[in-house]
Chain A
Amino acid sequence: MSVVLESPRGACVLGGIMNVISAIEGCVPIFHSGPGCTMQTAAGESNDEPISAVACPSTNMQERDVVFGAEKKLRTTIDGAIEIYDAENFFVLTGCTAGIIGEDVVSVCKDYQDRGYNVYPIETPGFAGDGLLGYEVGFRVLLDNIVEESSEKEKGLVNLFGIIPHRDPYWRGNFEELTRILKKLGLKVNTFFTEHQTLENVRRSSAAELNIIVNPYILKTASEIYEQRFNVPTLRFPGLPIGATDTTEFVRKVGEALNLDKKLVEAVIAEEEDYVYSYHAVKGNGLGWNRFAVVADPNLAVGATRFLANDYSQTPKVVIITEAMYRPEDKQRIIDRINDLEYATPPDIYFESDYFSIIEILEKYPEVSMLIGSSTEREYCSNNRIQCCALAFPLYDKMVVNKGIVGYKGSLSLVEELYNFL
């Protein structure tokens, strides 16, 4: 299914699994792989977690291991990890090397489980796909091994999913802003990845009243499992809610799904919108007018296009979705959401992951003066005097700590990011 790609975005399945596992406190990923996979996955996904890159245990398979197998090495590596890491949960990842020679990580992990250790196998090998598949695989591992049945629902508990750690460079701040808003509605929020949450939050996620998936397409299977196995329904919000218009819609949808007090919901909306517009009133529309392009993952592409068109009166010309997408209905959901603009004429929409082809598309729109993209598009922008606002993954020429670009407050940060000399 994978195609030849120029300037690929992100790492392999292992990178995506790491985005899930390494972002949960108290989990130790163990690489049963060649020597470079810990670094490649971390650099490829911009993963900066404490147990990522060379801080991960790794069997560092060598030629003799490829020939003779490395089960013994895997066992001594797991033993060492259990001995020195102050953690209780270990996940064994399968690199291409172990995957191709057919290492039986399941039996090895089973053996540890029989002896009372929480050592979980993840069989999907590196070559099985990209980091997005890895994110799905990571969630599946949690669902199959960690999430426990709950006898009753916990009132007001929701799971907030769909913002992918590291793949969304602003994931921490984005989770924080949406969590802040949901808390104002009186809710408790499981993200698994922020506020020092641990596997305990994962375990208890079955008691949630609702899964809120902020993403137009990811976690389809996981949401079905939550629904069928644990009776947790899903509210899918198809794209990052950025700015007052979409965030207010988001808040109302959550309110409806949980049957929250309408007065409370409207009061929160009024207060937050007032906050946002008090700043817009001071700053005005500082950007003037731009015809803009977006080159990004679907979550950001939908959110940024709608915000810039609906709330900031910029003119969308072209949106290029960079993630490989396979289900036609997912593509349609994205197209529908982008086309559903209040005043602006909808942009042209493309699905393309290959850098050269993306540039070929952009060249058809010489009128574009502003581009929302990743660090990869900087070259094209800088050499064509286009204002480049790098917000999308991969973002390797900018440091993001806790800034968010979603919700009410985040949309003001996004406005700050937009302005530059070009």
Chain B
Amino acid sequence: MAERKTRYDGIREHRPYTYNDLGDSNSVITEEFEKKCIKKADRTFSQGLQCQQINSLNALMSMEDSVFIAHSPQGCTGCATLGIIQYRIGQAHRGIREMKTPRLIVTNLDQKDVIMGGEKKLREAVQKAVKRYDPKIIFVFSSCASGIIGDDIDSILYDLQSETDAILVPIHCEGFKSKVCASGYDAALQAIGKYLMPKEAPKEKEKGLINLFSPASISYKDTVEMERMLERLGLHANYIPFNSSYEKIQKIVQAEASTSICKVFGDEFMKELYEEYGIPYSHTVMPIGIRNTDKWLRGVAKVFNKEEEAEEIIRQEHERVIPKLEHIKEKLRGKRVFICGGTGRSFAAAALIDDYGMKLVGIETPTYDADAQDDVEYLNSIHKDYIIDVANMQPFEQANLLQTLKPDVFIGVPTWASKLGYPTTHVLDMKRPTMGYDGILYLGEKISEQLSNPGFNKKLAAHSRLPYKASWYEDDAFKFIKKAGED
């Protein structure tokens, strides 16, 4: 196994000028970021987040011939059900009849292990994984508990490696290491880079092969659209790590280039692939909406020197899609929108609404950094004043902002906005299209239909409420965000 030096330590917060706790108007944030004078802050009160392990595990759970071991108490596998559901939906949509379920084993650390160490159980879990499934890869995920008690999973696996042909891959995803979900993706991809890559690059590339980094949240319809767009450029995708396999990972180095469907998924890994294997990459945006899809396609085309072809495709797609948006625009023009989403998707949604002539009044996005600033500067050129809440969900802030800003529509997870009676819609759908040019048409129909038929939310709001005091809605949504030194 080639030991590779990693410059980035896998923790998003450790990158310069990265913020998780921030809230203000677009103009103030852009200006202060530009001047590099945003102070580090923290929320003195917050609601739950995601942990790294959730995202590391879910990023990899659709890998074939693999067993996943959570070196943790039983509870840390809770969110695995989400990965299992996605995996099963993906199979159903692909017409696969013989159902497959990811093989997940938990070492089930308990009070005794917390004192004595969990090495014995980890060895037992690995041995069981090998005996039961003879997998090609065994991923072992650390946890808060295994991290704090200091179980050295690297050494234990290194020692066990001589007993098995399966490649043992430790993933360092202790929950307390980061508040940014993308760090969990990084931990998973870094482990692939360190343990599963071939020792050297092949002499020959596979013509037209592009590594397409994708989390498992991509729907079947979205894969069809991505493949259609790539095919128009004469390219075909090697998905990593979504629905991937040991063989596909071996092929990473045969690809002519890499790209990602998400801004914060695989960006660091693609950089690494470029530095180690000379594989060029395009890191742009999530291809949702016309502007972003164009930008994504141009980015990919540029790496392959196919800019002219891309312009022709873009021209044709615009000709096909834009006229169909007219009647949607009529319904949506001027509607005021509040958006909450992950990093890639929130900014993609913000760019998308311009296709329908809608107006941004607020956006919740988990992290603010130089990449986000790029997007925001673009958004500033279209939308004048809007609020940026750098928050991973934080429904209490969202509820407050919604009641302050009173948007016409909410784009994001609808749980809370629906109880406040706002029409809701989303650009994340594990079953339906969101991406590419076909996605624009689908989302346009979806948004205009959901916006014009808000009956469920209106009636729900009349019969339910969120658990907050009335006084909270009158308060400053950002009052708990305290800059370093403040109390």
A and B interact: yes
B-binding residues in A (CB < 8 A):
1-8, 10-15, 28, 31, 34-46, 50-51, 53-63, 65-66, 73, 76-77, 79-81, 83-87, 95-97, 100-101, 126-131, 356, 376, 378-379, 382-383, 394, 396-397
A-contact bits for B128-169, CB 8 A (1 contact / 0 none):
100010000000000111001100000000000000000000
Whether A44 and B79, one on each chain, are in contact in the complex, defined by CB atoms closer than 8 angstroms, is: yes
Given A44-B75, A96-B145, A396-B85, CB of A38 within 8 Å of CB of B48: yes
> Is residue B352 contacting chain A, with contact meaning CB distance below 8 A?
no
> Is residue B44 contacting chain A, with contact meaning CB distance below 8 A?
yes
Whether A126 and B73, one on each chain, are in contact in the complex, defined by CB atoms closer than 8 angstroms, is: yes
B-chain residues with CB within 8 Å of residue A85 when the two chains form the complex: 467-469
Within 8 A of A (CB), among B65-119: 73-79, 81-82, 84-85, 88, 97-101, 103-114
Report the minimal beta-carbon distance from A130 to chain B, rounded to whole angstroms: 5
Q: Which of B172-180, B193-201, B264-272, B370-378 contacts A (4 or more CB under 8 A)?
A: B172-180
- Sorted nearest first, the 10 A-B pairs with minimum C-beta distance are A36-B51, A80-B45, A44-B78, A12-B75, A38-B48, A40-B78, A34-B175, A76-B44, A35-B49, A11-B75
Given A11-B74, A36-B52, A130-B74, CB of A43 within 8 Å of CB of B108: no
> Is residue B50 contacting chain A, with contact meaning CB distance below 8 A?
yes
The answer for the CA separation of A8 and B105 in the assembled complex, in Å, is 7
A-chain residues with CB within 8 Å of residue B108 when the two chains form the complex: 2-5, 8
B interface residues, tally (CB under 8 Å) = 70
Whether A127 and B111, one on each chain, are in contact in the complex, defined by CB atoms closer than 8 angstroms, is: yes
A-chain residues with CB within 8 Å of residue B46 when the two chains form the complex: 57-60, 77, 80
Whether A2 and B51, one on each chain, are in contact in the complex, defined by CB atoms closer than 8 angstroms, is: no
Q: Which residue of A lies closest to B122 (CB)?
A: A4
Whether A4 and B128, one on each chain, are in contact in the complex, defined by CB atoms closer than 8 angstroms, is: yes
A-chain residues with CB within 8 Å of residue B470 when the two chains form the complex: 86
Q: Which residue of B lies closest to A383 (CB)?
A: B98
Q: Of the candidates A43, A59, A83, A397, which one forms a contact with B79 in the assembled complex, judged by CB atoms under 8 Å apart?
A: A43
Q: Which residue of A lies closest to B143 (CB)?
A: A96
> Is residue B480 contacting chain A, with contact meaning CB distance below 8 A?
yes
Whether B81 and A394, one on each chain, are in contact in the complex, defined by CB atoms closer than 8 angstroms, is: yes
Q: Which of B47, B132, B396 has the most CB of A within 10 A?
A: B47
> Is residue B53 contacting chain A, with contact meaning CB distance below 8 A?
yes
Q: Of the candidates B44, B145, B467, which one forms a contact with A86 in the assembled complex, judged by CB atoms under 8 Å apart?
A: B467
The answer for the CA separation of A53 and B416 in the assembled complex, in Å, is 12
Whether B48 and A86, one on each chain, are in contact in the complex, defined by CB atoms closer than 8 angstroms, is: no
Q: Of the candidates B45, B79, B103, which one forms a contact with A77 in the assembled complex, judged by CB atoms under 8 Å apart?
A: B45
The answer for the CA separation of A10 and B88 in the assembled complex, in Å, is 19
B-chain residues with CB within 8 Å of residue A382 when the two chains form the complex: 97-99
Given A10-B74, A95-B144, A127-B110, CB of A55 within 8 Å of CB of B50: no
A57-B45, A100-B114 given; 6 more Cβ-contact pairs under 8 Å:
A12-B76, A35-B48, A35-B176, A83-B45, A97-B145, A397-B88
Whether A4 and B106, one on each chain, are in contact in the complex, defined by CB atoms closer than 8 angstroms, is: yes
The answer for the CA separation of A35 and B180 in the assembled complex, in Å, is 10
A-chain residues with CB within 8 Å of residue B390 when the two chains form the complex: none
> Is residue B310 contacting chain A, with contact meaning CB distance below 8 A?
no
> Is residue B248 contacting chain A, with contact meaning CB distance below 8 A?
no
Counting residue pairs across A and B whose Cβ atoms lie within 8 Å, the total is 232
Whether B74 and A80, one on each chain, are in contact in the complex, defined by CB atoms closer than 8 angstroms, is: no
Q: Which of B46, B178, B415, B466 has the most CB of A within 10 A?
A: B46
The answer for the CA separation of A34 and B183 in the assembled complex, in Å, is 15
The answer for the CA separation of A46 and B112 in the assembled complex, in Å, is 28
Within 8 A of A (CB), among B311-369: none
Q: Which of B45, B98, B111, B114 has the most CB of A within 10 A?
A: B45
> Is residue B393 contacting chain A, with contact meaning CB distance below 8 A?
yes
> Is residue B483 contacting chain A, with contact meaning CB distance below 8 A?
no
The answer for the CA separation of A129 and B75 in the assembled complex, in Å, is 9
Within 8 A of A (CB), among B274-293: none
> Is residue B54 contacting chain A, with contact meaning CB distance below 8 A?
yes
B-chain residues with CB within 8 Å of residue A7 when the two chains form the complex: 101, 103-104
Whether A100 and B149, one on each chain, are in contact in the complex, defined by CB atoms closer than 8 angstroms, is: yes
B-chain residues with CB within 8 Å of residue A79 when the two chains form the complex: 44-45
Whether B44 and A80, one on each chain, are in contact in the complex, defined by CB atoms closer than 8 angstroms, is: yes
Q: Of the candidates B85, B112, B467, B480, which one forms a contact with A87 in the assembled complex, judged by CB atoms under 8 Å apart?
A: B467
Q: Of the candidates B48, B82, B85, which one forms a contact with A56 in the assembled complex, judged by CB atoms under 8 Å apart?
A: B48
The answer for the CA separation of A100 and B151 in the assembled complex, in Å, is 14
B-chain residues with CB within 8 Å of residue A51 when the two chains form the complex: 467
Report the minimal beta-carbon distance from A388 to chain B, rounded to whole angstroms: 10
B-chain residues with CB within 8 Å of residue A62 when the two chains form the complex: 176-179
Given A4-B121, A28-B467, A44-B81, CB of A127 within 8 Å of CB of B176: no
The answer for the CA separation of A1 and B125 in the assembled complex, in Å, is 16
Report the minimal beta-carbon distance from A369 to chain B, rounded to whole angstroms: 18
Q: Of the candidates B79, B114, B125, B145, which one forms a contact with A40 in the assembled complex, judged by CB atoms under 8 Å apart?
A: B79
Q: Which residue of A lies closest to B466 (CB)?
A: A50
Report the minimal beta-carbon distance from B68 to chain A, rounded to whole angstroms: 10
Whether A86 and B469, one on each chain, are in contact in the complex, defined by CB atoms closer than 8 angstroms, is: yes
B-chain residues with CB within 8 Å of residue A376 when the two chains form the complex: 101
A-chain residues with CB within 8 Å of residue B109 when the two chains form the complex: 2, 127
A-chain residues with CB within 8 Å of residue B8 when the two chains form the complex: none
Whether A379 and B99, one on each chain, are in contact in the complex, defined by CB atoms closer than 8 angstroms, is: yes
Given A84-B396, A100-B149, CB of A14 within 8 Å of CB of B75: yes
The answer for the CA separation of A131 and B108 in the assembled complex, in Å, is 12
Q: Of the candidates B73, B100, B121, B472, which one forms a contact with A96 in the assembled complex, judged by CB atoms under 8 Å apart?
A: B73
Report the minimal beta-carbon distance from A268 to chain B, rounded to whole angstroms: 32
A-contact bits for B390-422, CB 8 A (1 contact / 0 none):
001111100000000000000000011000000
A-B contact pairs, 11 of them (CB 8 A): A1-B112, A4-B108, A28-B467, A35-B51, A44-B78, A56-B47, A63-B177, A85-B467, A86-B467, A96-B73, A96-B143
